[in-house]
Amino acid sequence: MIGDQPSTLLDKIWNNHLVHADPGAPDLLYVDLHLLHEVTSAQAFDGLKVAGRTVRRPDLCVATVDHNIPTTDRSLPVLDSIAHRQMEVLRENAQSHGIRLFDVDDERQGIVHVIGPELGLTRPGMVIVCGDSHTSTHGAFGALSFGIGTSEVEHVLATQCIPQRRPKAMEIRLKGDRPMGISAKDLILAIIGEIGVSGAAGHVIEYTGPVIGSLSMEERMTICNMSIEAGARAGMISPDPTTFEYLRNREFGPNSDEFADLKMEWRSLKTDDRATFDRRVVMDISDLEPQVTWGTNPGMVTGISGRVPNPEEIEDEEVRDSTERALTYMGLGPGTPMESISVDRVFVGSCTNGRLEDLREVARILDGKRVHSGVHAMVVPGSTAVRRQAELEGLDRVFRDAGFEWREAGCSMCIGMNPDTLSTGERCASTTNRNFEGRQGRGGRTHLVSPATAAATALTGRFTDPRST
């Protein structure tokens, strides 16, 4: 409650961070944690310098290198001189402003949205920003966390605040039991398929319902991560005992003295019973199948037993045009069964599905089997810590024995800024978040799937229901 008013989780965090409000102007929000990486920060630091400004709170900034670093041998030099320069600039900026950097040789390095939670930097009730749209990931902890542009990065560096219009609150309630073998990735792909890629524009999504409460933190992160693919700037899940357990004994997490007090505070971070959302969507997931995208945005998705749609059967002209265009790009005919489509590549990784549970799931399916002869498969762990732990558990052996490449941590083929890319016409089953044209390499054809579906597909060489393997 805020005063006597029942309020949403979004309202509570918003009001907790409101530094200043002027009628007609955006609210000024305080930022608790500012995450930085090499690709979207250089121009912001440069802007500060030009304006003669400094970083207000370097102690609330954390930087790492993830987007364009190679995932091959870390002892070798970076061959891409422009990428190398970008990393150097981040080092210089972190050094001169006193910002903590988890560099390429640091065991805490990794994709910014994987290491934040892993290190205990991410906490319930925070406002977190980063120059990356998948910052929505951290909402899994009941934080308000969103991606910003480089000018806004500069703004936050200079002021530790961000001017924002209060977004609308949207509830997505999942009802029904989660069918066996259905992953968090399948849930979020189905949600985006249902509401569309701009379905939550202007809103912050709060995911609710018993299914959400039953998910692990890693699964919740997968769901919040892809909120942006439905047009929402942020997604959030109210913190609960699962959240609190995850936060214990993390390097930068609260110490045991602070924990009890903070937990009291965190328990209040939930939408009040009588609070109203601006919009509400209820989805029954009882009959959900593993999901596979067929097109060039994440909303172009179907169940594994489904087929590629036929544009002629679509009435809306704009949807028909975009479907036709997508099928041409993807090299798929109308009505093709998804399970008959063969792939050249399989990619497991990214801030969506590059965490330990994802890797365990892939290893469970691969165990003792071999990748199909026509498939080139790789696993890129989301962080160096994930990589180390996977090795301790022997997962790397399972991957290698199955014929997967086992790489160093980074964004890798999710964005294809480093040497890991698709060639023209190559088709990839990918555990990432975007199947846009050219996302993984010019002319590359990306199908978004869960880690389990990626693993099952790697074994057969065509899209395969992981429940059948």
Q: Contacts with other proteins in 295-324 (CB under 8 A)?
A: 297, 318, 321-322
Using the contact rule CB under 8 A, the part of the chain among 217-225, 226-234, 277-285, 356-364 near other proteins is 226-234
CB of 14 to other proteins, least distance (A): 14
What tokens does 315 get? 């009435």
For the CA atoms of 345, 348, 349, 353, the dihedral, rounded to the nearest 10 degrees, stands at 130
Task: Compute the distance between CA of residue 429 and CA of residue 447 in angstroms, rounded to an integer.
Answer: 5
Q: Name beta bridge partners: 284.
A: 175
Task: Compute the distance between CA of residue 177 and CA of residue 387 in angstroms, rounded to an integer.
Answer: 33
Query: What's 99's DSSP letter?
Result: -
Site string for other proteins, 65-94 (x = CB under 8 A): --xx-----------x-xx-xx--x-----
Would you count residue 111 as binding other proteins (CB under 8 A)?
A: no
Would you count residue 9 as binding other proteins (CB under 8 A)?
A: no
Handedness of CA 283, 289, 291, 292 (dihedral sign): negative
For 102, the 3-state DSSP assignment is: strand
CB of 135 to other proteins, least distance (A): 8
Which whole-number Å values give the CA distances from 366 to 363, 382, 386, in the listed order? 5, 19, 18
Question: Which of 270, 26, 41, 306 is closest to 149 using CA atoms?
Answer: 41
> In terms of CB distance, is 417 or 455 closer to other proteins?
417
CB of 176 to other proteins, least distance (A): 29
Of positions 10, 104, 114, 121, contacts other proteins by CB under 8 A: 121
The CA angle 276-280-281, to the nearest 5 degrees, is 160
Of positions 27, 132, 219, 361, contacts other proteins by CB under 8 A: 132
For 236, the 3-state DSSP assignment is: strand
Of positions 9, 10, 36, 42, contacts other proteins by CB under 8 A: 42
Would you count residue 437 as binding other proteins (CB under 8 A)?
A: yes
In terms of Cβ atoms closer than 10 Å to its own Cβ (0-12, 13-18, 19+), residue 421 is middle
Using the contact rule CB under 8 A, the part of the chain among 3-11, 61-69, 71-79, 448-456 near other proteins is 61-69
In terms of Cβ atoms closer than 10 Å to its own Cβ (0-12, 13-18, 19+), residue 73 is exposed
Of positions 415, 422, 448, 458, contacts other proteins by CB under 8 A: 415
Site size toward other proteins (CB under 8 A) is 85
Of positions 110, 193, 231, 354, contacts other proteins by CB under 8 A: 231
Would you count residue 284 as binding other proteins (CB under 8 A)?
A: no
Of positions 5, 6, 49, 149, contacts other proteins by CB under 8 A: 149
Of positions 5, 6, 25, 370, contacts other proteins by CB under 8 A: 25
Site string for other proteins, 253-272 (x = CB under 8 A): x----x---x--x-------
Tell me the Ramachandran region of residue 181: left when phi exceeds 0, alpha when psi lies from -120 to 50, beta otherwise: left
> In terms of CB distance, is 70 or 290 closer to other proteins?
70
CB of 190 to other proteins, least distance (A): 19
How far from chain centre, in Å, is Cα 354?
9
Of positions 163, 311, 334, 403, contacts other proteins by CB under 8 A: 163
Using the contact rule CB under 8 A, the part of the chain among 147-155, 184-192, 283-291, 447-455 near other proteins is 147-155
Would you count residue 283 as binding other proteins (CB under 8 A)?
A: no
Would you count residue 444 as binding other proteins (CB under 8 A)?
A: no
The tally of CA atoms less than 13 A away on the side-chain side of residue 111 is 31
Would you count residue 374 as binding other proteins (CB under 8 A)?
A: no
Of positions 148, 237, 390, 428, contacts other proteins by CB under 8 A: 148
Task: Compute the distance between CA of residue 76 and CA of residue 74 in angstroms, rounded to an integer.
Answer: 5
Spatial strand order of the sheet with 100-102 comes to 100-102, 61-64, 33-37, 127-130, 144-147
Would you count residue 158 as binding other proteins (CB under 8 A)?
A: yes
Question: Which of 37, 208, 174 is closest to 110 using CA atoms?
Answer: 37
